[in-house]
């Protein structure tokens, strides 16, 4: 028995025991010797085992850890989490697109996304001041902030034979728009650029996109340029379509009309940028593969639309183009901006850059299906 007892004694004495315990143990040794104890080692061990209960709870915990090492319940240091401000519009198509990311179905380790909802024209203006890390942006607005942001190759909205619609309170030929007063949803929106490409000689007045239908109905303006769900609701209000600019664009160029994109701050760097682009692409893919649950989530943002109409609207703007522009989509973007530069609405020397999220990984089922 001597050898194990000596081992425990040495282990005990070399441990960082709190001072109060040391004092009590020394008294115990004197007491044990005076009492004629034949094995003072046993007394040391008994003292070390029992006298810890004379300490306060915090001191007892430190004492036990000095004997056995740190407790298993000791929390480990957590890695620092980066917060990314992700801004997009409060519409059912964007809600559908970001459903998986907003609800934690897909994640980017080490990154927390804070979702900010705002209308597209406000986001266009905010991009000029580099307010958000990742932002929805009109393609027309991008050249004005290209020094601050780079386009992501996923999460975009294209109109394939459809797009922003000009409506009027009475039947009007599209050749009769020149000189008319038309309400627009913002002077940095792609819809405004498309309108000016179609008919340069119009007078415009800017107002919130969700006020345009009412303004046309009340004859405050002669016509209105509709985006979002207004494209599907105008006929219910007795208004008349003058021209669908997405249809006109495709007939003119043979290309889809690029409307809105996602852009990321250059200051975040290309590595983090690609990781963010990848998780956004995964979010879009997840929504397309889990359409019912994603649509149910998006319905809370479907202003005045029933589920059938909301499903149609989401299908118009979250599709194969949203997963990846592809070469045709990139060509459409360059064509749109080149035509804008040709009529003096854009600078002609701005390079259009796309940050790719596709690093050669196997495409998702949604991408394969498309």
Active site residue 170: no
Say how far apart CA 267 and CA 82 lie, in whole Å.
14
> Cα 153 vs. chain centroid, distance in angstroms?
14
Residue 59, SS3?
Answer: helix
Alpha-helical segments (H) within the chain:
2-14, 19-34, 40-50, 57-68, 92-97, 99-102, 120-128, 190-198, 212-217, 230-233, 245-253, 270-289, 291-298, 307-317, 320-323, 326-342, 365-369
Taking the C-alpha atoms of residue 8 and residue 6, their distance in angstroms, rounded to an integer, is 5
Taking each helix axis as running N to C, give the angle between helix 190-198 and helix 245-253, from 0 to 180 degrees, rounded to the nearest 10. 60
CB-count exposure of residue 363 (10 Å: 0-12, 13-18, 19+):
middle
Q: Which of 170, 228, 240, 290 is catalytic?
A: 228
Just list the catalytic residues.
Answer: 228
């Amino acid at each position: 028995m001597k050898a194990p007892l000596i081992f425990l004694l040495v282990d005990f004495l070399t441990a960082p025991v709190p001072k109060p315990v040391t004092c009590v143990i020394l008294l115990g040794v004197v007491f044990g010797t005076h009492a004629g104890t034949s094995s003072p080692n046993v007394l040391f061990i008994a003292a070390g085992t029992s006298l810890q209960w004379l300490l306060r709870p915090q001191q007892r915990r430190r004492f036990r850890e000095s004997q056995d090492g740190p407790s298993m319940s000791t929390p480990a240091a957590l890695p620092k989490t980066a917060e990314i401000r992700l801004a997009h519009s409060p519409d059912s198509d964007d809600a559908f697109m970001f459903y998986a990311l907003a609800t934690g179905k897909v994640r980017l380790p080490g990154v927390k996304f804070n979702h900010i909802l705002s209308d597209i024209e406000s986001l266009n203006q905010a991009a000029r001041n580099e307010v958000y890390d990742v932002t929805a942006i009109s393609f027309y607005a991008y050249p004005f902030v290209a020094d601050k942001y780079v386009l992501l190759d996923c999460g975009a909205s294209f109109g394939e034979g459809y797009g922003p619609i000009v409506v009027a309170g009475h039947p009007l030929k599209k050749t009769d728009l020149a000189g008319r007063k038309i309400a627009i949803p913002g002077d940095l929106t792609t819809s405004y650029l498309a309108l000016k490409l179609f008919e340069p000689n119009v007078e415009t007045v800017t107002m919130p996109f969700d006020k345009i239908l009412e303004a046309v109905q009340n004859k405050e303006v002669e016509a209105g340029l509709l985006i979002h769900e207004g494209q599907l609701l105008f006929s219910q209000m007795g208004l008349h379509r003058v021209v669908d600019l997405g249809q006109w664009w495709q007939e003119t160029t043979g290309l889809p009309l690029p409307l809105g994109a996602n852009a990321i701050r250059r200051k975040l760097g290309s590595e983090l940028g690609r990781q963010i682009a990848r998780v956004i692409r995964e979010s879009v893919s997840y929504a397309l593969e889990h359409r019912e649950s994603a649509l149910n989530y998006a319905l809370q943002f479907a202003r005045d639309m029933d589920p059938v109409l909301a499903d149609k609207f989401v299908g118009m703007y979250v599709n194969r183009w949203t997963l990846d522009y592809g070469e045709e989509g990139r060509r459409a973007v360059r064509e749109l901006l080149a035509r804008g530069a040709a009529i003096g609405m854009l600078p002609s020397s701005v390079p259009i850059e796309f940050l790719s999220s596709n690093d050669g990984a196997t495409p998702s089922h949604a991408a394969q299906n498309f």
